[in-house]
Structure 1
């Protein structure tokens, strides 16, 4: 696996998606200007909420961003898990009706395995428990098999809304397997613990 700093990772991610037709758009302010439902920008898609939840036409069919985020909704998990933080940069690629799960999953896998060089045997995708389409894309299309894809509930694989209401839906994540010595110790330990 390539060892790179945050500047190189950010640049590599932006280049990858710009090569695939995603214009690099500027990040939104940390305090949303036109969204009374949020105190802080908690996700990369916050600036795009109007395009997901209203008939407002987006300025582009695709976009890639690097967004500074401040998230307090799960602050009780900060320090308990290695995957929770209050302030972070979120790298995001977005489609506004241009492509869907197939391309998003293919590109996520290509970026992590081919561009970053992460070993496939250490990567474990998760999907929302009722999202059969995403499960089949990972298990069959990408070729990981059903034992390598974990179905998780709303807490882990159902995104949103960012605020009290708005756009939401199932999501997919890729977990880095750290080996049995790092797990939670339970027999059913896996992504989402």
Structure 2
């Protein structure tokens, strides 16, 4: 499957779930002095997450052009050393602004991966933040992923919430476990 097909399939899938397809914002954000480059799909929704702005929709899906060349999300040091680190990439994202939460987000992800992209269910593993019992239960009881294929990821950098499975927008602000 080509990257274009993956992108279009992703956007159309979430559009079928009531999400508005929102175009990529510029890689050089003109309205956010805290960023040199757009480094994540959520950047254009930052003020929505902070409660400063509202959109006419409560569900969005994007293919955001991103550059990670410094700061919190610095991939520059790993470019050329791993096959998965690049300075420029497109981040596919689906967002809910108070409309749905973990149950639907997890169900959508599983449906997309197994029914749309046709990845074999028995080959997929999932990770959850170590303390996120709710996500663990949804993956296990609702989706049906066996416990031996659900991995709890704890704090890995010597600090609380410093985990690959705990998302933080910055040192302060919106944050939470991810899966």
Q: Report the TM-score when normalising by structure 2.
A: 0.87
Deviates more, 1:40-49 or 1:144-153: 144-153
Question: What does residue 90 of structure 1 align with?
Answer: 91
Q: Which residue of 2 aligns with 1:157?
A: 165
- Write the distance in 2 (CA, Å) between the matches of 1:69 and 1:126: 24
Greater relative contact order: 1 or 2 (C-alpha under 8 angstroms, separation 6 or more)?
Answer: 1
Could you list the runs of 5+ residues in structure 2 that have no partner in the other structure?
A: 155-161
3-state SS of 1:156 partner: coil
2:56 is equivalent to residue 59 of structure 1: yes
Check whether the contact 1:22–1:63 (CA below 8 A) recurs between aligned residues. yes
Moved over 6 A (4+): none
**RMSD after superposition:** 1.6
1:116 aligned residue: 117
Give the Cα–Cα distance (whole angstroms) in 1 for the partners of residues 96 and 130 of structure 2. 23
Q: How many residues matched?
A: 168
Q: Which runs of 5+ in 1 are unaligned?
A: 173-193
- Measure how far apart 1:81 and its partner are: 4.0
Stretch moving more, 146-155 or 135-144: 146-155
Alpha-carbon distance in structure 2 between the residues aligned to 1:118 and 1:84: 23
How far 1:141 moved relative to its partner?
1.1
By how many angstroms is 1:129 displaced? 1.1
Whether the 8 Å contact between 2:129 and 2:163 is mirrored in structure 1 is no
Secondary structure of 2:60's counterpart equals strand
Shift of 1:86: 2.1
| Corresponding residue for residue 185 of structure 1 | none
TM-score computed with the length of structure 1 as normaliser: 0.81
Counterpart contact for 1:49–1:166, Cα < 8 Å: no
